[in-house]
Chain A
């Protein structure tokens, strides 16, 4: 026993390293599991409460750039508003003629960003509104410019938002002009990337990218950004599309959470499940017939 103890003491650094490395991997494996969520919630409350204490202190770098951005947007929006009003009228008239149900507007809830955490390129925002205001995990978060992320975790009074500049973030998007679909992600840097878009499809620099109907988290037609460059993927029929985001999560102080209509969402989900089940049934019957 004493020998064993001596051996342990002799190699204590290595024993400790083995234990700590094992623990690190164990925690990594647990990282996204439900067991860790209470710990995350406590951390969110703690960090959120502390950040809300000094949230009133403006960051001069952000405030000045945000003001510049707002001025630019104001000019652009005022000219776009006139065009959109006319288009909206025409659209409503056409929908009425075709008998299509009018599109629902988004239900937005304003939230103040009380904290921004950027550790090791995981960009998170802490909002001063939480479950008590009707916010749930997965809800889309946007500014007047466009999409900035989605709710990652919530507590009673705070929400943690995962920004677009996050390696785990994937958004179903489409090109607003041509309705070409794609999956948007982040590969580092200041731009977002849409991959696997066939070269033959009509996509141009300057095109607006918006969320698509395929997204389960985000409502459709939310502006995401503008295409800045197109790059062919070597030895393939596809190309990479680089998108400059319409709103940068780290250059804003306020945002809006898109609240989901629970009843409509459930109705939509049940309808989609039913359709998928029927399709599966048809496929199985088809396969059986082929085998026969």
Chain B
């Protein structure tokens, strides 16, 4: 049952991210809802599930946003895989309710942005450093601010 709920939530988040971009984008920067969900999966489910979830989330984003197919999939897969090394079953619920969740969101966002912008800027004449720093940096900050909402919610809930 928890997996079904999580799948439904993931689908809703991807759809919201694509559809609501005109309402939630600030100065071209968007909060990455997929990264927030991925951080949750990394903390709660571990490396294997996180990388598969990252891939599926990324691919759905690529398809729905008409972006380069596979670019988000690769970036979120790698973020899930790398951060999966820090999975700890005993600390999972504690991490979700406190600042470590924001740290996971931040690191996942940085990894995903670096990988994504590397492929996005490759061979285009765009500056990778400038791009990843400006767009990626603002996006990451915005994502962390949004991630405070679920963290606050979980801090007041009993998790299943």
Contact = CB atoms under 8 A, between A and B. Distances in A.
Question: Are A and B subunits of one complex?
Answer: yes
Interface of A: 12-13, 16-17, 20-21, 23-28, 30-31, 36, 39-40, 43-44, 46-47, 50-51, 54, 59, 62, 115-122, 124, 152-153, 160, 167-168, 185, 187-188, 250
Interface in B69-123: 69-74, 77-78, 81, 84, 116-117, 119-121
B66 interface: yes
B68 interface: yes
A116 B21 contact: yes
A13 B127 CA distance: 33
Contact of B25 (A28, A118, A124): A118
Given A30-B69, A50-B19, A121 B120 contact: yes
Given A17-B77, A117-B66, A47 B126 contact: no
Nearest to A62: B22
A167 B67 contact: no
Interface of B: 15, 17-19, 21-23, 25, 28, 30, 47-48, 51-52, 55, 58-59, 61-74, 77-78, 81, 84, 116-117, 119-121, 124-127, 130-131, 134-135
A13 B51 contact: yes
A63 B130 CA distance: 31
A119 B65 contact: yes
Contacts of B21: 116-119
Contacts of A39: 63
Contacts of A28: 68-71, 74, 119
A24 B73 contact: yes
A7 to B, nearest CB: 16
From A46, A120, A250, residue with most partner B Cβ within 10 Å: A120
B5 to A, nearest CB: 22
Given A17-B77, A118-B25, A23 B134 contact: no
Contacts of A116: 21-22
Given A17-B81, A23-B70, A121-B131, 15 more contacts: A20-B77, A24-B70, A24-B71, A30-B69, A31-B70, A40-B63, A43-B64, A117-B18, A118-B30, A119-B67, A120-B65, A122-B65, A167-B121, A167-B124, A188-B126
B28 A27 contact: no
Nearest to B23: A59
Given A59-B22, A188-B131, A16 B48 contact: yes
A24 B119 CA distance: 12
A21 B134 contact: no
Contacts of B117: 120
A153 B121 CA distance: 23
A187 B126 contact: yes
Contacts of B28: 118, 121, 250
B48 A13 contact: yes
24 contacts: A13-B51, A23-B70, A24-B55, A24-B73, A25-B70, A25-B74, A26-B70, A27-B73, A28-B70, A28-B71, A39-B63, A43-B63, A46-B64, A47-B19, A116-B22, A117-B18, A119-B17, A119-B21, A120-B65, A120-B120, A122-B65, A188-B127, A188-B130, A188-B134
